[in-house]
A and B are shown apart, each in its own frame.
Chain A
Amino acid sequence: MEIAAGAGLAASGRFGPEHASEDAVLVRQAGAGDEVAFARLYDRYGRMVHGLLLARVGRNDVDDLVQDVFLAAWRRLGALRDPAAFGGWLATIARNRATDFQRRHQGCEELPDHLAAPEAASTRLEARAVLAVIRGLPPAYRETLVLRLVEGLTGPEIAGQTGLTAASVRVNLYRGMKLLREKLGT
């Protein structure tokens, strides 16, 4: 069964602490086997998981790893003691999954997509070059910048979804952006 993404709160650009209680309801429903509820969690957190993975592993492996992470979450929902902490818990799964993947694929950077039209290559070339620069930054900055610039999440959304404090996200965002500007010479 496939359910189209995009109707979730993350896609609407708003994500605040009040949604933690909604998450708790969805997590409990999903834990009881409700795939529709789990699909809504995917809508909310798909970009966050994708961003955390993209900050660490090659782009062509990320989509599969996103599925891995949500599959692991689906299997372990019963072990989540505080359903309202779903975001931080899911972020930890994503980081661990990325670490596992890197351990098994040491040396691999990217599995490129050859099959797009050559005309699009310049933009992709630049996007991937910038992404490579971001990946060269310290992990905390790298993660926050990918979530902000690639996934389009705002600072409050990043904090709400990853379980980090807003202050930490703000600091990482500003310092990371400053470093990125220096690296890019802009």
Chain B
Amino acid sequence: MSTDRQNDYLWDRSGEQDDEVARLEALLGTLRHDAPFVAPDSVDARRQSLARDLPGASRASTEPGGAAGDSRWQARAARVLYAGAAVAAVLVLMAVGAVAWVTYVQPRIGWSVESVAGAPVVDGRVVDGSARLGLGRWLTTDAGSRARLAVWQIGEVDVEPNTRVQLVESRGREHRMSLVQGTIHARIWAPPKFFYVNTPAAVAVDLGCAYTLQVQPDGSGLVRVTHGWVGFEHGGREAFIPEGAMCATRKGIGPGTPYFEDAPAVYADALAILDFGGAGDPRRSLSLEAVLSQARSRDALTLWHLLQRGTREERERVYDRMRVLAAPPAGVRRAAVLAGDRRAIDLWWNSLGLDSTTWWRLWKKDW
């Protein structure tokens, strides 16, 4: 029980130290605010740019005393209009895109680069307005620069500050870039397996989607899918990441286990230990327990990937939990799944409502 002097400590750190409060201060202080001030003009420019990319970008008023009611109705109306327009736009784009990618079989070298902010650099030359990124050439942005790449006829890539990318290939059905550090946002409207991003830790394969890909200086990466699907692969280790999910990757190891953004908060750290902590990490069992105990039906996405990773004992635990959350379809046996039987594992996936394995396995050859 806390004393008055300990209550003083809780109030203003006077009086006798309350050890539990002090412990929580030290622990939670790791989450404390430490972001530097950014001038409003810089934030404004960035927000306006981002708003162009974000669905439902129209925002309700956040200012106290503002016309919040009107703004909310306007925002709702805008969202409805936006959704309708987006559906129509997607249909049109799909039709146009299908024709375009069949028609454009001629190799075409180089992508156009547009300077969005600051002074992006292509091979040592500052991009003033627009430029061309040729094969093997590098595009670099500093802390104040952003750029937009036109990926042939099939999409575009926004290059965020402090990013370095290289155009590796652009012909026929292969359009490939390398991201060695920084962040890109890709929007691709071609069929699956036209657009690739090499990173130090894995290759991201576009399966018809929009996503954000981030690479840290140590080569580790993170992909967050906002529409469609992305495949992540390294050395035969692969992950399939649907809309609303994300997946980390580590240099020398490959992709981790994907999970939905709204998964329980402990997922990321627990999965990081399972994916990258090594087979002998003493925290594995506890981490797996955290994942399994908090998994929802929707998290079968994560468990399905874990079925194919880890020790036999770990996979048995995963199987037993996944069976409860999403019962395997008829004909899928425990022994077959644990033995790594591809047909059994795919049948189970197909029952999860996450699209069939057929189409993405069709497109995933020779990543």
Name the one of A38, A71, A79 contacting B47, with C-beta atoms under 8 angstroms: A71
Interface of A is mostly: helix
Q: How long is the Cα–Cα vector from A96 to B246 in the complex, in angstroms? A: 28
Asked if B60 CB lies within 8 Å of chain A CBs, one says yes
A151 touches B11 (CB 8 A): no
B30 touches A112 (CB 8 A): no
Instruction: Chain B residues near A25: list those with CB within 8 A.
Output: none
Encode A165-180 as 1/0 by CB contact (under 8 A) with B: 0000010011001001
B269 touches A124 (CB 8 A): yes
A100 touches B222 (CB 8 A): no
Instruction: Chain A residues near B269: list those with CB within 8 A.
Output: 112, 121-122, 124-125, 128
The 8 residue pairs across chains A and B that have the minimum distance between CB atoms = A112-B268, A114-B248, A50-B33, A92-B64, A74-B40, A1-B39, A110-B265, A125-B269
B35 touches A114 (CB 8 A): no
B62 touches A4 (CB 8 A): no
Chain A residues with a Cβ under 8 A of chain B: 1-5, 35, 38-39, 42-43, 46-47, 49-51, 54, 58-59, 63, 66-72, 74-76, 79, 89, 92-93, 96-97, 100, 103-104, 107-115, 118, 121-132, 146, 148-152, 154-156, 170, 173-174, 177, 180-181, 186
Asked if B24 CB lies within 8 Å of chain A CBs, one says yes
CB distance from B201 to the nearest CB of A (A): 11
A174 touches B62 (CB 8 A): no
Interface size on B, residues (CB 8 A): 65
Instruction: Chain A residues near B41: list those with CB within 8 A.
Output: 1, 35
Residue of A nearest to B55 (CB): A104
Q: Can you list 15 A-B pairs with a CB-CB distance of less than 8 A?
A: A5-B34, A35-B39, A38-B37, A71-B47, A74-B40, A96-B61, A100-B59, A114-B268, A118-B272, A118-B277, A123-B30, A125-B269, A126-B27, A131-B31, A152-B32
CB distance from A33 to the nearest CB of B (A): 10
Q: How long is the Cα–Cα vector from A53 to B364 in the complex, in angstroms? A: 41
CB distance from B1 to the nearest CB of A (A): 9
Name the one of B29, B37, B214, B268 contacting A2, with C-beta atoms under 8 angstroms: B37
CB distance from B287 to the nearest CB of A (A): 8
Instruction: Chain A residues near B214: list those with CB within 8 A.
Output: 115
Instruction: Chain B residues near A150: list those with CB within 8 A.
Output: 28-29, 31-32
B33 touches A46 (CB 8 A): yes
Name the one of A42, A118, A129 contacting B281, with C-beta atoms under 8 angstroms: A118
B43 touches A170 (CB 8 A): no
A-B contact count (CB 8 A): 186
Name the one of B11, B60, B270 contacting A173, with C-beta atoms under 8 angstroms: B11
A2 touches B38 (CB 8 A): yes
A47 touches B33 (CB 8 A): yes
Given contacts A79-B65, A109-B262, A150-B31, 8 further A-B contacts (CB under 8 A): A1-B41, A69-B62, A104-B56, A118-B273, A149-B28, A150-B29, A156-B11, A174-B10
A151 touches B33 (CB 8 A): yes
Asked if B283 CB lies within 8 Å of chain A CBs, one says yes
Residue of B nearest to A81 (CB): B65
Chain B residues with a Cβ under 8 A of chain A: 2, 7, 10-13, 20-21, 24-25, 27-44, 47, 56, 59-66, 68, 214, 216, 220-222, 224, 246, 248, 256, 261-270, 272-273, 276-277, 281, 283, 290
CB distance from B44 to the nearest CB of A (A): 6
CB distance from A74 to the nearest CB of B (A): 4
Q: How long is the Cα–Cα vector from A96 to B261 in the complex, in angstroms? A: 23
Instruction: Chain B residues near A93: list those with CB within 8 A.
Output: 62-64
Instruction: Chain B residues near A111: list those with CB within 8 A.
Output: 224, 246, 261
CB distance from A139 to the nearest CB of B (A): 17
Q: How long is the Cα–Cα vector from A127 to B266 in the complex, in angstroms? A: 10
A70 touches B29 (CB 8 A): no
Residue of B nearest to A129 (CB): B266
Of B38, B56, B222, B290, most A-chain CB atoms within 10 Å: B38
Instruction: Chain B residues near A79: list those with CB within 8 A.
Output: 63, 65
A54 touches B62 (CB 8 A): no
